[in-house]
Structure 1
Amino acid sequence: MEINRALQAAMQQQQQPAVPRPIHRRTYIPRDRITTHHRLYADYFAQPRFGDNLFHRRFRMRRELFLRIVGALERRYLYFRTREYAVGRPGHTPIQKCTAAIRQLAYGGTTDMFDEFLHIGETTARECMEFFCQSIREIFKDTYLRKPTPQDCQDLMAMHGSQHGFPGMLGSIDCMHWEWKNCPSAWKGLFTTGFKSKHPTIVLEAVADYRLWIWHAYFGVAGSNNDINVLQSSPLFNDQELSVGPAVSFDANGNQHNMGYYLADGIYPMWAVFMKTVRCATEDKKKYFARQETARNDVERAFGVLQSRWAILRGPSRLWDMETIVDVMYACIIMHNMIVEDEGLALIEWVDDDGVGPSHGVATSSARMGVPQEGLDRVRAFSDMRQRQAHIRLQNDIIEELWLRRGGR
């Protein structure tokens, strides 16, 4: 009897209805992609309701350059072409996808910030930005993030000799930190330093010229490193150490130097490829040489314009994947250089039309690509670049050269 009662109780419990659980389904939001595309095209491209100034303000570039980027992405990648979904509805157009990516980079807002205007959901907008940055880097890096050629080195020295008065100057070098909000907890100690920021950061090393063109960008080093640590792992001088970089020379104070140099702040080492200011100068010629601080602001201005143009770099990064963050940084730098080329003066226009002599920074011997060396030649090239005495001689020659140009004695 007791066994039968237990079986009956168990059967009654099984017959009782289970506790109802809420079923969470994905919310379907109807989005009219075709109408949105026509409105976007009519507002900015066909017979634009908003003029060129507003287009440049919202897209950070001229209309012709934006359409050039859209066309390059559409020709090369299937993702940026108009396709139909499995249910037969048309997808987003290339202009919609590129606009969603540009707006996120330019304004630094959330991924669904422009859903009301572009009718692109949060996930799709994030995907558009990731593919856009990766594609920009793959297509345009060889053109807009390349190493300077021998002719570029000559033009850079001529431009900086004319604008700043420093013979042999190739540009300015410095580092910038970008905060990483969603840095994994296990990595926070590696990416955090108390000097620059109390939050995890990633370091960008860059070389910029007078036009704010960024010739060198090295991004991805943990924020706990300082500028010297970044320099040790940077590929900036790899070609020069292997004697395969551009071989240039210039005259300063009657002496010939066979390496161009970059203006740097006080933390950088005393190498022959860096030109630092003189601290606590007492002589008039050294005080006049302190204008190096003003000329070195080229790279600081480049950082400022880069962050102002692409607001996503100004605030903490909310991305999770390190590779995506690197793609975003390089894509912003590449488009920055594209805008400089599209809107700024050509590099050759900065050369003095009256003929710049050797004292103004033009190479006295034609620049050429060096021959790869082995053994002792590589060791010699490595040591020559790091000679402290060579740095001191170069600095003294530049001080005398600037003072002579000013008319001092």
Structure 2
Amino acid sequence: MTHANLMNNYFNPNTVYTEEDFRRRFQMRRHVFERLLRDVQHVNPYFRQKHDRVSRLSFSPHQKVTVAFRMMAYGSPADSMDEAHGMSESTCLDTLAEFCDTIVKDEYLYEPNQEDLDRLIRKVKDHGFPSMIGSLDCMHWDWKNCPTGWLEGFSRRSRKSTIVLEVVTSYDT
């Protein structure tokens, strides 16, 4: 039921909420969310929908990624996801951990090597943008309900836990 509501509200044709609503609530455009969703499903089987031991469908990829985003972006506690998304606290924490591990391992957060940079500089130079490699946006999002075991890895000098989001562009975006 929660998957159907999520799809009808945000992802199906003729959704209840507009693109502007989606952007405000998810802090990104729908096509960015969908690309990220597709990529995490490709990299990590955890985000693919499967049948459980009694042949019921597990949580959908849309539900899992939405829960991870809500916990990170809004500091929503894991136990609050039960009502809105039908997901237990332990499943929410597992989903968040899987999402973070997947993002760090995949192309989104890996550091480019010199070969990558040289290739990109050649491409952007051909398009008239020499030396275009650089960060466009970077921000810290407060993570109010960071799991205790992760505090040290996600804390700044102020001892507040945050997640750093950085956006980098390339010649084709």
- Give the TM-score band, short-chain normalised: 0.7 to 0.9
Kindly provide the CA deviation profile for residues 302-357 of structure 1, in whole angstroms up to 9, marking residues without a partner as x: 4xxx23xx332xx474430479749x977x43xx31xx64xxxx679xxxxxxxxx
* Map of 1:320 onto structure 2: 149
The answer to whether the Cα contact below 8 Å between 2:9 and 2:17 also exists between their aligned partners in 1 is yes
CA deviations 1:233-287 (Å, max 9, x no partner) are xxxxxxxxxxxxxxxxxxxxxxxxxxxxxxxxxxxxxxxxxxxxxxxxxxxxxxx
Aligned partner (choices 291, 308, 311) of residue 142 of structure 2: 311
Offset of residue 43 of structure 1: 0.1
Question: What TM-score comes out, normalization by structure 2 length?
Answer: 0.74
Q: Which amino acid aligns with 1:71?
A: R
Which protein has greater RCO, CA pairs closer than 8 Å, 6+ apart?
Answer: 1
2:9 corresponds to which of 39, 43, 50: 43
1:57, distance to aligned residue in structure 2 (A): 1.5
Alignment of 1:237-316 (within 5 A): 302=138, 306-307=139-140, 310-312=141-143, 315=144
Flag the 1:142–1:316 CA change in 2: closer, same or farther, 3 A: closer
**Gapped regions of structure 1 (runs ≥ 5):** 1-34, 157-169, 171-207, 213-301, 349-409
Q: Aligned in 2, Cα 1:106/1:323: closer, same or farther, shift over 3 Å?
A: same
Q: What amino acid does structure 2 have at the position aligned with 1:60? A: Q
Matched, 1:81 2:48: yes
Q: 4+ residue stretches of structure 1 with deviation over 4 A?
A: 322-326
CA–CA separation in structure 2 for the residues paired with 1:107 and 1:42: 22
1:123 maps onto 2:90 in alignment: yes
Residue among 139, 149, 155 paired with 2:131? 155
Q: Give the deviation of 1:147 after TM superposition.
A: 5.3
Alignment of 1:205-216 (within 5 A): 209=135, 211-212=136-137
Equivalent residues of 1:82, 1:91 under 8 A apart: yes
2-structure distance, mates of 1:347, 1:323 = 36
Alignment root-mean-square deviation, CA = 3.2
SS of the residue corresponding to residue 320 of structure 1 reads: helix
Paired residue type of 2:142: A
Q: Distance in 1 between matches of 2:92 and 2:154?
A: 16
Q: Is the 8 A contact 2:76 2:145 kept in 1?
A: no
Q: How far has the Cα of 1:54 moved from its partner?
A: 1.5
**Shift in Å at residue 127 of structure 1?**
0.7
Q: Do the aligned partners of residues 48 and 323 (structure 1) sit closer, same or farther apart at CA in structure 2, a change above 3 Å counting?
A: farther
The answer on whether the counterparts of 2:75 and 2:145 sit within 8 Å (CA) in structure 1 is no
Counting aligned pairs with the same residue, the percent is 25
Alpha-carbon distance in structure 1 between the residues aligned to 2:33 and 2:109: 19
In structure 2, the residue matched to 1:93 is: 60
Question: How far is 1:74 from its partner?
Answer: 1.5
Aligned CA distance change for structure 1 residues 66 and 50 (closer, same or farther; 3 Å): same
Whether the aligned pair in 2 keeps the contact of 1:130 and 1:324 (CA below 8 Å) is no
Which of structures 1 and 2 has the bigger CA Rg?
A: 1
Q: How does 1:195-214 map to 2 (within 5 A)?
A: 209=135, 211-212=136-137
Letter in 2 for 1:112: D
Q: Cα–Cα, structure 1 residues 93 and 311, in superposed 2: closer, same or farther, change >3 Å?
A: same
Instruction: Map 1:320-359 to 2 at 5 A.
Output: 320-321=149-150, 325=154, 332-333=164-165, 336-337=166-167, 341=169
Cα distance in 2 for residues equivalent to 1:127 and 1:59: 20
Q: 2:158 maps to what in 1?
A: none
Question: How many equivalent pairs are there?
Answer: 156
Unaligned segments of structure 2, at least 5 residues? 125-129, 156-160
**Superposed displacement of residue 89, structure 1:** 2.2
